[in-house]
Copies of this chain bind each other. A is one copy, B any other.
Amino acid sequence: MKLITSGDNARLKQLAKLIQSRRARQAAQQAVLEGVHLPQAFADAAYRIEALYLPQHKLADAEVTALLNRLPETPVYVVADAALGKISSLTQADDIMALIALPPPPRLPESGDCVVLERVQDPGNVGTILRSAAAAGVAQVLLSADCADVWSPKVLRAGMGAHAQLQIFSDVDLPAWCGQYRPPLYATALSADSRSLYALDLRPEAAWLLGNEGSGVSAAMQAAADVRVQIPMAANTESLNVAMAATVCLFEQQRQRMA
C-alpha cells in the first residue's frame, strides 16, 4: 500500500488520462473500473486487476476491505484527499478505482452468436446492450469504430460487469467482417422487405446488427445483412430505443432455444 499525496503524481495523471481519453486507453491497452462491484465481476471472470486506487477516506469501508482481501497480490495506491481533486471531477463515483489490462484482440469471429453495433453512440445504450447480450447467452460483441468507446467508464458502469463475460471486438470494419461471418446476419430495420422477428427460426447461430440511435442501421449494412428484421409494435409508435430492440431480439432468440 502506497500513499499518493500530490495531484502531480505520475500514476495519478495517467489514471486521469485513462478515465478521460479513448486514445489513452488504446495506447496503454488499459481501462479503469469505478466502484467495488466492477473489479469483483472482472476478478470473478479471471481478469487480472493491475492496481487499485483508493480515496483515503474509503479505507475504512467494509466492501473496500473485502475487495483488498480478495486481491492480496494487487498493488494498492491510497490517494490522499488533497490529491483526489485530480480525478474526482472526472468520475461520477468518489470511489475505488481499478486498473485492468484490456484483453489482446482476438481474431474476428467467423461463427458463433454475435451482437454487432454500428455507430451506437450513447454509452448507456452500449453498456445496456452488453448486459442484455450476456444475460441472453450471446458471448461475442462487435462494435464499429464510431460507437461509444466500449471501455469508457460510462459504458463499463452501464455494463454492470457484462464486459468481463464477453469477447469484445472494437473498431471493427463491419463491411469487411460480413464477408467472413458464415451464420445469418440479421439487421434490425424498418425496410420494405423486413420480416417479423417472430417469423424467424432463431435456433441456429446468428449475428444481430443494431444501428445508430437516430438513423438506424446504414443502408450499406442493411444490404449486407441476410435478413432485415422488424419488431412488431402497436400502432402510433415509431420505434424502440436501440437497447430495447436488442433486448427483445436477443431474448426471443433465447426463448426459441429453450423451447
Contacts and interface: CB of A to CB of B under 8 A. Distances in A.
Interface of A: 44, 124, 128, 131-132, 134-137, 160, 162, 165, 198, 231-234, 236-241, 243-244, 247-248, 251-252, 254-255, 258-259
Contacts of A44: 236
A244 B241 contact: no
A234 B198 contact: no
17 contacts: A44-B236, A124-B124, A131-B241, A131-B244, A132-B244, A135-B234, A135-B237, A135-B240, A137-B233, A137-B234, A160-B241, A165-B237, A198-B258, A232-B254, A234-B254, A243-B243, A251-B251
A77 to B, nearest CB: 29
A236 B136 CA distance: 11
A237 B164 CA distance: 11
Number of copies: 2
Given A134-B234, A231-B251, A258-B232, A244 B128 contact: yes
Given A124-B124, A136-B233, A247-B248, A131 B255 contact: no
Nearest 3 pairs between A and B by C-beta?
A137-B234, A135-B237, A135-B233
A241 B134 CA distance: 12
Contact of A136 (B132, B234, B255): B234
Given A136-B233, A233-B136, A237-B134, A198 B244 contact: no
Nearest to A164: B236
A236 B128 CA distance: 16
Contacts of A252: 251, 255
A234 B137 CA distance: 5
Given A128-B241, A248-B251, A251-B252, 19 more contacts: A44-B236, A131-B237, A132-B240, A132-B244, A134-B236, A135-B234, A135-B239, A135-B240, A136-B234, A162-B237, A198-B255, A232-B254, A232-B258, A234-B254, A240-B247, A243-B244, A244-B247, A247-B248, A252-B255
Contacts of A232: 254, 258
A136 B232 CA distance: 8
Contacts of A247: 240, 244, 247-248
Contacts of A248: 247-248, 251
A252 B124 CA distance: 24
A25 to B, nearest CB: 24
